[in-house]
Amino acid sequence: MNTSVDLLVNIISATPTAIAVVDLEMKYIAVSQQWIDDYNLKGQKIIGISHYDLFPEIGDEWKAIHADCLKGKAQKNSQDKFVRMNGEVQWLSWDIRPWKDDSGTICGMVMYSEDITKRVVDELRLKRNLDLFNETNEAARIGSWEYDIITGSMFWSSMVKHIYEVEEDFVPDLQTIREFFKDDLNRDLSDSLIAEAINDGKSFDIDLEIITAKGDPLWIRIRGNPHFKDGSCIRISGTIQDIQELKIRSIQLKDSEEKYKSILENSLNAHFLIQPDGYILEANKAALDMFGYTIDEMRALGRTGIMDTDDPNLAAYVKKREQTGSANAELTGIRKNGERFPHEISSVSFVDSNGVQRTSVSMVDITERKKAEENLRLSEAEFRAAFEYSALGMSLMDINGKWIRVNESFCRILGYTNRELMSRTLKEISHPDDRDMDLPLMEEVLKGIKKSYQIEKRFLHKSGAVVWVHQATSVVHDIDYKPSHWTVQIQDITEQKNIESALREERELLRTLIDNIPTGIFIKDLESRKLLVNKAECEFMGAKQPSEILGKDDFELFPLDFARIAIAEDQEVFKSGKSIVNREKIVTWIDGSTRCLLSSKIPLYDNGKITGLLGITYDITKIKEAESALFESEQKYRRIFENIQDVFYQTDQAGIVTEISPSIEKHSGYARDEVIGKPVTDFYFNIEDREQLVETIKANRIVTDFEVRLKTKAGEKKYSSVNAQLIIRNGEVIGTEGSMRDVTERKLQQDSLKSLNHDLNTLNDQKNKLLSVIAHDLRNPIAGCVGLLEVVFMDIDNTSKDELIEYMQMMQKGVLNAHELLEDLLEWARIQFHSVDFIPSKIDDLASDVRHTIKKLAPLAEAKNITLNQEIKEGVSIMADKHMLASIIRNLVTNAIKFTNKEGTVLISAKRKGDGYLFSVTDDGIGIPPDDMGKLFSDDTGFTSYGTLGEKGTGMGLGLCRNFVERHGGKIWVESIQGKGSTFYFNIPDQEKLL
């Protein structure tokens, strides 16, 4: 009996796994060295000590398991958490079984365990890495795929299945995948790329269009790389990315270019492309129609042949274009029939892609354009007032269901911004159960069965809530009565009924479970016959009873190849007396499978002689398979991460970059190792962008399409669109992660469009002011004269001479007012449309010129017995624009006469001051109220007041004066005392020194 116990102790002690044997009182009988190492028991007395004394941390749960085992119930667990007294966590795989004596009585318990802490920690680390990879791919909507050519099997990642809108249990194959493509062209192209990859080893990267499982059209980007072994392609792997939004923008840009070209060719305005020497390269149809020439005739004539070269504005127009590269003016053209016609011309000089100077010229018939612009303005104003400020949600949608325009109420009801809503369709924002409600009704409207329809339906709010609305939909036809677009109006008719929280199903995690079984133990004699085996060895060999094994050698139990290896190892131990410890070997098993075994063989001695050996066999096949699979998985996901186009990054809580994709080098010029470990603030062009991004992500935890300005390694500025979110672990924020996309080109296009819109709005405002004055102020005095003439002619026979003189004086007053208004209006219009050229020249006798100017105003002054005086030295000369100076003095003197009582005085003076002259016009009239002082020199044509005899001004004269004075580099101002008079001052610097 003692010999058996000693033998058991030796066997257990030599076992390379953690095994312990205890009696019914849980006291140790035998333990392996591995048990001592795993539980840090080295140097402690173990045999005869209670298991619970060695491990006081063992609780009632474990004690209950031990009690059940001592009653005959064996138990095991492949992965269990064990917390030591010092707080250290161990992960164990364990197996406990009762052991019995020869009579079958339970005498104690055999405990087997394996410390699997490292493997569990590695699996958790892998899980975290996979979570990061999947989150990154989800942000970019990129998934992976692989086609095994040998087995014909196809693998899709979860993201690919999400993109194709299939269930997670969907099993793809080549034939099924072909059916997803939109048409045969896409299918044939895909087939040819797969064939070239297999046959020629060509990688591919292509954009294709599919129809998802839910019937939605979608553009995807497919990448594929072939993998070869022994000269043959064994598999193709790659990525699939959702590029729907990017593709739509690309198509819209192309459509915009085509639309621009079509608009130019079909424009009612004339457009030319001209060489510097005046040779006409191109002219659109409107240009040919405008002049009545063919393109060949027009080229033969050149620019000078179709323009009136005597037009006084032509020289200044050409000079300005030569100086600034662009110019506009009102010029005169000559048609083929000799007719001269006014037009507005604008041109821009540029250098084409070949470095050749060109000039782009546009001509517009002013009269027709004015009429068209006014009608358009009124129509647009009415539409905008009805559309934008309606309390109802209003929208325009094209025939194919794409939004053209939505108002603020529409966005507010559904919770989207205008931009977000424009990227969605009516179907996408409708509740899934109501998405098909509109289709039959729209069909009836298009067929003319009904003009419109109204329904109550559900939309999905941006938050996910259901919004009930009353929807009214009608179709708008073009001039040919073809359906042009839809009008969709919605009214919110309910409060939020319920809030649906869309829960994302947690992705299935990749887990590799390694099954651990108790170690097989056996004893052999010198002829390699089995003398002793345990239950684990029987299970390993597929035997039900030990009797099926005992007394047999390896040739009788194992395949021939394995038996030869095993017998050779036995002889090695018998001859050398040295142990074989943890030797790995790969064998073909009885069932034809390949196994990887870890075995140890230890010589047994009796009186100093080797009598046999102790063998330990451990099947590590599944562990090896798991290690191989783990390696391949890490390699596969690493390849995908390194080949993504957008830049994906992670930072810690302090803003230090902890991870970034290799695509950062293409994006900014920085290598990946130049960015990792650096603060993100080092890469911002404007640090304010970083601060705003941080504030936004703190408030919302996530940001989408947040525009920032970054700097490249070369110091250049780039615009990037950032999608980012907080990284939260165990309820704490540990950093941020997200993706960046270069939007520099798109930003530059948007800025250019804003500039063009600003110029157009400025021109519209100027045109509106001009038309307002023409329509109102100019019409009134003329209408009054017409009315007086009608009165005279109706009763001319009974009208006395005095009455006739009175009528004539009234008409004269009206005509003079109209003439004054027209003069001011023309001056103002020429300034606003940049057609007044500033041409300073020397005025030899300033006093003479001023007398000539105010002489024209004598009738106005004589009508009120007002004396006009001037204090200007004779022979004084000045460099100035003669026409503008006369206009300034004429307007100021006219105003002084208007606001001076009868018998008053107006004084005009000019005195040398510094490098120029200070002019003043002083009256002793009624003065100016303080509240009106700030309105005098405005360009707004609406402000005016009545003179002492009811004279009404144009409201533009002082604005013109300010513009003309500023063109000379001077200033104008006024001093006035109400009831005593006013003095208007302006200075004209010496233009010779300014030129």
- Biggest distance spanned by C-alpha atoms of the chain: 166
**Would you call 687 helix, strand, or coil by DSSP?**
helix
CA distance 100 to 801: 151
With beta carbons less than 8 A apart as the criterion, state whether 209 and 190 touch: no
Same-domain check for residues 558 and 591:
yes
More confident position, 683 or 759: 683
More confident position, 703 or 755: 703
Choose among 109, 92, 106, 132: nearest CA to 30: 109
Tell me which residue has tokens 């009612």: 268
Q: Model confidence at 776, in pLDDT bands (50, 70, 90)?
A: very low
Question: Quick one: pLDDT at residue 832?
Answer: 52
pLDDT beyond 80 at 267? no
28 falls within a domain: yes
More confident position, 96 or 683: 96
Give phi and psi for 147, each to the nearest 5.
-115, 115
Domain boundary (742, 768, 795) is at: 742
Question: Quick one: pLDDT at residue 642?
Answer: 61
Altogether, the residues listed in the chain come to a count of: 995
More confident position, 168 or 554: 168
| R_g of the chain computed on alpha carbons | 48
Domain boundary (703, 721, 742) is at: 742
Percent with pLDDT over 70 in the chain: 79
pLDDT beyond 70 at 643? no
Residue 487 pairs with which residues in a beta bridge? 396, 474
Same-domain check for residues 64 and 104:
yes
Kindly report which listed range (221-225, 684-688, 857-861) carries the lowest average pLDDT score: 857-861
Average pLDDT over residues 299-317: 87
Residue 166 CA, chain-centre distance (Å), reads 27
Same-domain check for residues 416 and 538:
no
Burial of 236 (0-12, 13-18, 19+ CB in 10 A): buried
Residue 434 CA, chain-centre distance (Å), reads 30
Cα dihedral 178→184→189→190 (10° resolution): 0
Same-domain check for residues 590 and 459:
no
Same-domain check for residues 8 and 107:
yes
Kindly report which listed range (28-37, 630-639, 735-744, 921-930) carries the lowest average pLDDT score: 630-639
CA distance 859 to 907: 16
pLDDT beyond 80 at 559? no
Same-domain check for residues 607 and 661:
no
Question: Quick one: pLDDT at residue 772?
Answer: 47
Residue 867 CA, chain-centre distance (Å), reads 72
Question: Quick one: pLDDT at residue 752?
Answer: 67
The number of CA neighbours under 13 Å toward the Cβ of 395 is 29
Q: Work out the number of other CB atoms within 10 angstroms of the CB of residue 417.
A: 11
Q: Model confidence at 452, in pLDDT bands (50, 70, 90)?
A: confident
DSSP H/E element including 465: none
309 falls within a domain: yes
Give phi and psi for 577, each to the nearest 5.
75, 10
pLDDT beyond 60 at 133? no
CA distance 145 to 863: 96
Average pLDDT over residues 616-624: 75
Tokens of 663: 């695509």
Domain boundary (340, 372, 404) is at: 372
Each residue's pLDDT tens digit, 314-371: 888 888 888 888 889 888 888 888 888 888 888 888 887 678 888 888 888 776 665 5
Cα dihedral 362→366→370→373 (10° resolution): -10
With beta carbons less than 8 A apart as the criterion, state whether 680 and 693 touch: no
Same-domain check for residues 276 and 220:
no
DSSP H/E element including 827: helix 801-832
pLDDT beyond 80 at 213? yes
Question: Quick one: pLDDT at residue 825?
Answer: 57
Q: Model confidence at 478, in pLDDT bands (50, 70, 90)?
A: confident
Q: Model confidence at 85, in pLDDT bands (50, 70, 90)?
A: confident
CA distance 373 to 844: 45
Same-domain check for residues 226 and 282:
no
400 falls within a domain: yes
With beta carbons less than 8 A apart as the criterion, state whether 622 and 515 touch: yes
**Would you call 387 helix, strand, or coil by DSSP?**
helix
| Cut 0.85: pTM above it | no
Most confident of 46-55, 503-512, 525-534: 46-55
Tokens of 516: 């651990």
pLDDT beyond 80 at 423? yes
Average pLDDT over residues 109-118: 86
Same-domain check for residues 76 and 194:
no
Same-domain check for residues 302 and 405:
no
Buried b / exposed e over 959-981, threshold 16 CB at 10 Å, is: bbbbbbbebbebebebebeeeeb
pLDDT beyond 50 at 505? no
Average pLDDT over residues 242-266: 71
Show contacts of 155-161: CB within 8 Å, 24+ apart: 158/134, 158/507, 158/508, 159/134, 159/240, 160/240
69 falls within a domain: yes
CATH of the domain at 683: 3.30.450.20
More confident position, 475 or 535: 475
Question: Quick one: pLDDT at residue 696?
Answer: 86
Most confident of 419-433, 866-880, 981-995: 866-880
Cα dihedral 720→723→729→732 (10° resolution): 80
Question: Quick one: pLDDT at residue 785?
Answer: 65
CATH of the domain at 884: 3.30.565.10
Contacts of residue 196, Cβ cutoff 8 Å, sequence gap at least 6: 202, 204
Same-domain check for residues 180 and 291:
no
The whole-chain average pLDDT of the chain stands at: 80
Buried b / exposed e over 121-147, threshold 16 CB at 10 Å, is: eebeebeeebebbbbbbebbbbbbbbb
CA distance 196 to 494: 58
Percent with pLDDT over 90 in the chain: 12
Q: Model confidence at 941, in pLDDT bands (50, 70, 90)?
A: very low
Q: Model confidence at 514, in pLDDT bands (50, 70, 90)?
A: very low
Question: Quick one: pLDDT at residue 512?
Answer: 27
With beta carbons less than 8 A apart as the criterion, state whether 330 and 833 touch: yes
- Degrees to nearest 5, angle at CA 270 with 269 and 275: 145
Same-domain check for residues 619 and 546:
yes
Give phi and psi for 560, each to the nearest 5.
-55, -45
Give phi and psi for 345, each to the nearest 5.
-120, 140
Contacts of residue 979, Cβ cutoff 8 Å, sequence gap at least 6: 926, 927
Each residue's pLDDT tens digit, 714-744: 888 888 888 888 888 887 888 888 888 887 7
Show contacts of 578-581: CB within 8 Å, 24+ apart: 578/603, 579/603, 581/16
With beta carbons less than 8 A apart as the criterion, state whether 598 and 628 touch: no
Choose among 921, 913, 908: nearest CA to 846: 908
Q: What DSSP designation does 507 have?
A: P
Q: Where are the alpha helices (DSSP H) in 91-212?
A: 117-140, 158-164, 174-180, 184-200
Q: Model confidence at 986, in pLDDT bands (50, 70, 90)?
A: very high
Question: Quick one: pLDDT at residue 775?
Answer: 43
Domain that holds residue 284: 272-372
Question: Quick one: pLDDT at residue 871?
Answer: 92
Most confident of 390-394, 395-399, 754-758, 870-874: 870-874
pLDDT beyond 70 at 630? no
CA distance 278 to 301: 9
Average pLDDT over residues 953-976: 82
Q: Work out the number of other CB atoms within 10 angstroms of the CB of residue 167.
A: 7
DSSP H/E element including 764: helix 744-773
- Degrees to nearest 5, angle at CA 335 with 331 and 337: 145
**Would you call 363 helix, strand, or coil by DSSP?**
strand
pLDDT beyond 70 at 827? no
Domain count for the chain, please give it. 7
